[in-house]
Structure 1
Amino acid sequence: MVLRIVPTMFPTVQDAIDVSSEGDSIKILAGKFDGFEVTVDNLKIFGCGIGRTIIEGAPAQGSSSGVSVGAERIILQNFTVQGFESGIFFQLSANQNLLKNIESKINRTSGFSISGTDHLVLDCVALLNGVGFDFGPLDENTTLFRNKSFQNNTEGYRNIIEARRTRFVNNLAKRNEGAGFQLSGDRHQILINTSLENTAQGIVFRDNRYNLIENKICNNLSNGIEVDISVDSIIDSNIVRNNGTDMTDAGILVNNGVTGSTIRFNKARNNSEFDIEAVPPADMNNTFDGNQCGSSDPPTICGS
């Protein structure tokens, strides 16, 4: 295992990667550097910290992204990437990679664009991008923990329909120009997240099964939680307050294509127009139990 240092030993990160072998580490000192493509498995590439090590020059080889990853078991840590098409881009061949303490900002389409399987994204920040965190084709078994997505031009976090089994735990979406979380795909777990002051929905999800438990969804301009075309989902113990701006909105909106789901023990107050709304036949095709709300449509689905 060899430690390579940029720029004292190698002028660019790419130069250091190109001569590395599995198990090597690359340290990037403070300063501004070109983008790079990771093609060697099991590398650790780390900077001196957010705002100190900055990737903002030429994009990665053969890519419009700042950092492009097509390898496995990569650790990327402690730097900022900015000013590209996408900040961090995981190719379909990327698997079992770790992103930790990375800031991705002012990138045109996405801060983080993630495909492949079994990634961990931890303590990262997406700011002023197109979409903050974007999950592409065949992303599966990715976990996001303690990340923040602020003031992006569309969604804070977005899955497309091919994504499977993503876990969102204790993440923040705030003041994004779209939804805080816009999720499709199957069997996701959305636990203890916060979605605040987004221009569209706090959390919107479509297609198949979800667990949505103990999230805080407040002050979003559209629906707090919107459920569409979902089967066997669980929406449990969420705090949903002060969402919506007109008669078409609700704190929790369960659309007519939702079946076999359970909406229970949620605390929904001061949402416009209803705290909980079930569009027929969703009021009959799902279970509503123990919800605390001031208003609902129909009135029978509100516990108190």
Structure 2
Amino acid sequence: MVLRIVPTVAFPTVQDAIDASSSGDSIKILTGKFDGFEVTIDNLKIFGCGIGRTIIEGAPAQGSNNGVVVSGDRTILQGFTVQGFEDDGIEIFSDNNVVKNIESKFNLGPTGSGFAIVTNSNLIVNCIASFNNRGFDITGQHNCIQKNNSFQNLDSGYIILNRNNILNKNLAKNNEVGFLIITDFNNLFTNSVLNNKSNGIQLTTTADNNNIIVNILCNNEGNGIFLNGSPEQNVIDSNIVRNNGTANTNAGILIQNGAFDNTIRFNKARNNVEFDIEAEPGAEPPNNTFDGNKCGNSSPPGLCT
């Protein structure tokens, strides 16, 4: 195992150090600004001097418009900022990687994300995504997205496009939508979803069998939790939903006509506009189950205890 330092005479760029490395080696990036790079070798550790001190900007990773591309398995990235790329700040194209203590910002292309997790079984922890088009774009499976902060992104703070992912203890604040769930069998628990410009957590027609449990949703301008279209067999359980909504079409928890066989239970909803819990005609019991919710008002009446 070898440690390589960037920049040095031997390794003026991060890509130079990667190209000279073997599996198990480490690369230390010093304070300063550096071009993007692609991790092409398995089992490398690449670490900077901290967010705002080691900065990846300028030329993208070769052959892409992304800042950092990870195509080697079991990579560890830690301790730097990635900013200002046309597409994604960091794009993960391999499995079993760890990305921690990374900031990704101002990646504002039409499909640009702070973090794009394309593949499977990755851990993204203690990272920050801000001022991107999207914060965290998850198209792989079995990923753990934990203790991250996604704020002031133009579109979604977190968008989940594949199944069997866990999102735990994250913050979504001041995005367009906090969490947008497109598909099934994902788990969102103990996240904080605050002050987003539209919905806090939104499930689309194709989002079935998801668990939305013990999250806090406050002061979102749209709905706190929105089952949009015809999602089925989701569990909305033990969430705190307060002060959401700005129009009479909003609610703390809104279940649209067409949603079927979802369970909405033990939630605490107060001071939402227009209702704390609303089931549109066709979405009320028995088509969906409402049990043990503590709230001030509902439509139709009787959805609160």
Instruction: Classify the TM-score, shorter chain.
Output: over 0.9
Matched, 1:115 2:118: yes
- Aligned-pair distance for 1:234? 1.0
> Partner residue of 1:101?
101
The one-letter amino acid paired with 1:165 is N
Q: Which runs of 5+ in 1 are unaligned?
A: none
The one-letter amino acid paired with 1:232 is Q
TM-score, normalised with respect to structure 2: 0.95
> Partner residue of 1:209?
209
- Aligned-pair distance for 1:257? 2.3
**Distance (whole Å) between structure 2 residues aligned to residue 302 and residue 71 of structure 1:** 51
TM-score, normalised with respect to structure 1: 0.95
**Distance (whole Å) between structure 1 residues aligned to residue 164 and residue 182 of structure 2:** 11
> Partner residue of 2:226?
226
User: What do the CA deviations read for 1:126-166 (whole angstroms, capped 9, x no partner)?
Assistant: 01111111123xx1001111000011111111122xx1111
Q: Secondary structure at the match of 2:248?
A: coil
**Distance (whole Å) between structure 2 residues aligned to residue 61 and residue 118 of structure 1:** 25
> Partner residue of 1:171?
170
Percent identity over the alignment is 58
How many residues are treated as equivalent by the alignment? Answer: 296
- Aligned-pair distance for 1:202? 0.6
Q: Secondary structure at the match of 2:241?
A: strand
Question: Would you identify which runs of 4 or more consecutive aligned residues in structure 1 move more than 4 Å?
Answer: none
- Aligned-pair distance for 1:38? 0.9
Matched, 1:133 2:136: yes
User: What do the CA deviations read for 1:206-264 (whole angstroms, capped 9, x no partner)?
Assistant: 22111111100000000000013222211111000111111110000111222222111
After TM superposition, the structure 1 = structure 2 runs for residues 5-154 of structure 1, keeping only pairs within 5 Å, are 5-8=5-8, 9-85=10-86, 86-91=88-93, 94-108=94-108, 109-136=112-139, 139-154=140-155
Q: Secondary structure at the match of 1:14?
A: helix
> Partner residue of 1:183?
181
The correspondence for 2:295, drawn from 262, 271, 293, is 293
Q: Secondary structure at the match of 1:22?
A: coil
> Partner residue of 2:193?
195
**Distance (whole Å) between structure 2 residues aligned to residue 280 and residue 17 of structure 1:** 59
Q: Secondary structure at the match of 1:208?
A: coil
Which stretch shifts more, 40-49 or 223-232? 223-232
Q: Which runs of 5+ in 2 are unaligned?
A: none
CA root-mean-square deviation: 0.9
**Distance (whole Å) between structure 1 residues aligned to residue 96 and residue 18 of structure 2:** 18
